[in-house]
Amino acid sequence: MPVLLKILAFVFIAPGFALTLAAKGVVSRFKLDLNAKCDFEHEMGEEELKQYKFNKTVVNAKMLGMLIALPGLILLILAFR
């Protein structure tokens, strides 16, 4: 049973941390920043708005990666107990 938990933990950890580390590349490759919303667009310049949307999308991708890795980290703690 502990071997199964270890394998399952790494099944969650690997893609989660991969997404966290490659978030910038994923956002620019799939142009995810074009779908980002900004409530105060009229207060920013064009270049500043593009940078804001890109950074917002990268942070969201990193948080998603960490949320994917979190169950794996919990399983890893339980497996090596």
In the chain, pLDDT over 90 holds for what percent of residues? 89
Q: Express each pLDDT in 57-80 by its tens digit.
A: 999 999 999 999 999 999 999 998
pLDDT averaged over every residue in the chain: 95
| Residue-level pLDDT at 81 | 84
The domains of the chain are located at 2-79
In contact, 77 and 13? CB cutoff 8 Å? no
18 — pLDDT class (breaks 50, 70, 90): very high
41, burial (CB in 10 Å: exposed 0-12, middle 13-18, buried 19+):
exposed
